[in-house]
Chain A
Amino acid sequence: MNSIPSYLLQPESVQDAPLNIKRAKLSFIDKTILNSAKTVKSIYQQADCAENDNLINKINPHVKLISLIYMAFVISLVSKTSAQLLISVFIFALYIIARLKVFEVYRKIFFLAFLFGFLVVLPASLNVITTGKIILNLFTFNKPSQFWIYKIPENIGITENGIQVVLLVFLRVLNSVSLALLIVFTTPFPSFIKSFKIIGVPDTFLMIISLAYKYIFILSRTIEDTYFALKSRLTGNMKNSSLRKLISGRVFFIFKRSVVIYENTYFAMVSRGYNGNVKLHSKHHFTLTDYITLVLIISVGIFVIIIN
């Protein structure tokens, strides 16, 4: 029997915060809606791009996975910025071949690379972190000093070595993110997950990933709907404590919803003969294009390591 969730039976305490109490802004509702909408959008975008008909989409997912792991390893080994730049150009060329929306995807890539590969490492350009010849002096003290375990030199500035370190980490992050997104946008998720079999990931684990991915999509939509409903009912501010109670209720609701979905999935699986053992079948066969791709990727990796 369907019962009305308890939170719907409780009156909303919209006006329960006295005027002198610090009121919370309701921006967290928008943030949550935005987060869930982003997830749904990414999943749609990925599925849409992966269906395109182009050369890279046609490559066997096993080859793509091996190439991704191999190139990620090469990127982590290469320590010269010129070699990393060469990899960036190579990956960009692959994006052109894949006929993806280069501007849109690279905007996301640069944002991630700027955040994790540049801002975080930027202080390393200073001589207090990376020693070397100062090329831009920023501060000059009277004398060198000591603060706790840190030695503060007389001059603080940007070093040549420091710039190289920042550039290297930035390019590494840029290349890794762009490579991962290239594979994601050119491979349907189910085929991509099945390709993990080639590196020995058990079928059980892959099945869990596939189910989780589907649940995430369904439940993200539920969160979005729930929060839109919540937003439409909240006309004023509420006390922080009431809001936290409200959100905890939403988390609880999502949990219960996921339990229902899980049970339905389980019964559906049992009705189709599921007995606890999982065997995923992968229908892909290697073609000449796949072998050429593999040879090309391996050659690029070796070439980059040699020039490094």
Chain B
Amino acid sequence: MHIPDGYLSPQTYIPLFGLFVAATAIGVKKVKTDISARNIPYLGMAAAFSFLIMMFNLPIPGGTTGHAVGSAVIAILFGPWAAMIAVSVALIIQAFIFGDGGITAIGANCFNMAVFMPFVSYYVFKIFNNNSSEKRRVTFSAFIAGYFSLVLTSILTAVEFGIQPLIASTADGKALYCPYDLSVAIPAMAIEHLLFFGIIEGIITAFIVGYFLRNDPGMIYAFRKGGKDANR
């Protein structure tokens, strides 16, 4: 899901960086009013947790193991605005320290995984869960939130890839950036995420949210904001 350098043209990564900066500016303002002076260490902790959640490999039905992108879990636990800042900080650290994701693509990666994905997952969770605190419903909603947010994010990423041959090619049809057009990029990304990665994300999101619900429901932002007390 991390876009490396070299795949996106300046015509794509500069506007996406602008969108990410605008969203972050709003996010910082929103979070400051929500959690006051504690916001800095709190968001630092949330960012570290969103980074670390990718380390946990879980056994997946079928004999394999996998890890989550984590944006859906973070959005449900911390709320979409805090998740936006936390995941973007984690992505910036990944890009600069671990070489995971490009420098020029930071705006695009943050927009996809730190802005788009947390908001989609959070609102999908809210819609499906409908303020319920019943365990099955919560875990099912968390699964759907994780699944759909990842699938939709993969399609968004595929569109960013797929438009490259249209906006940056030489006269003889040679692509200057990502060489795959929409007819290749969308099916390639969508199919693998619909059939495999989306399910992994959904399962891991459901398990983690389910565990929090059983042990400390008060920590789940989605319940604190407009949800009932999660006492079963």
Contacts and interface: CB of A to CB of B under 8 A. Distances in A.
Interface of A: 6, 22, 24-25, 27-28, 31-32, 35-36, 39, 42-43, 46, 68-69, 72-73, 75-77, 79, 108-109, 112, 116-117, 121, 124, 129-132, 149-150, 161, 164-165, 168-169, 172-173, 175-177, 179-181, 183-184, 189, 192, 202, 204-205, 207-216, 219-220, 223, 240, 243-245, 247-252, 254-256, 258-259, 261-263, 265-266, 269-270, 274-276, 278
B96 A124 contact: no
Nearest to B47: A212
A49 B38 CA distance: 34
B52 A212 contact: no
A142 B13 CA distance: 43
Contacts of B40: 204, 207-208, 211, 269, 276, 278
B55 A276 contact: no
B41 interface: yes
B83 to A, nearest CB: 13
A254 B52 contact: yes
B4 to A, nearest CB: 4
A209 B92 contact: yes
Interface string B51-81: 1111111110101010000000000010000
B63 A22 contact: yes
Given A108-B99, A189-B97, A258-B49, A208 B85 contact: yes
A39 B55 contact: yes
19 contacts: A32-B57, A75-B104, A76-B5, A112-B4, A112-B99, A121-B179, A189-B97, A215-B44, A215-B48, A216-B48, A240-B59, A247-B207, A252-B208, A252-B211, A252-B212, A255-B49, A262-B41, A265-B41, A274-B37
A13 B57 CA distance: 20
Contacts of B143: none
B173 interface: yes
A243 B49 contact: no
A68 B178 CA distance: 22
A212 B44 contact: yes
B146 interface: no
Nearest to B183: A149
B53 to A, nearest CB: 7
Given A76-B5, A252-B215, A28 B104 contact: no
A258 B48 contact: yes
B39 to A, nearest CB: 8
Contacts of A165: 174-175, 179
B18 interface: no
Contacts of B103: 68-69, 72, 176, 179-180
Interface in B184-232: 184, 203, 207-208, 210-212, 215-216, 219
A130 B174 CA distance: 6
Given A46-B97, A165-B174, A248 B211 contact: yes
Nearest to B2: A116
B46 to A, nearest CB: 8
Nearest to A177: B99
B6 A132 contact: no
A276 B37 contact: yes
Contacts of B86: 212
Interface in B1-46: 4-10, 13, 24, 28, 36-45
B32 to A, nearest CB: 8
Given A76-B9, A209-B89, A219 B211 contact: no
A251 B48 contact: no
B104 A250 contact: no
Given A28-B58, A276-B36, A262 B44 contact: yes
A76 B10 contact: yes
A244 B55 CA distance: 14
A214 to B, nearest CB: 8
Given A245-B211, A251-B208, A262-B45, A205 B52 contact: no
Contacts of B90: 212
A28 B59 contact: yes
A161 B41 contact: no
A43 B96 CA distance: 11
Given A250-B56, A254-B49, A169 B173 contact: no
Contacts of B156: none
A184 B99 CA distance: 10
A203 to B, nearest CB: 10
B76 to A, nearest CB: 12
Contacts of B85: 205, 208
Contacts of B183: 149-150
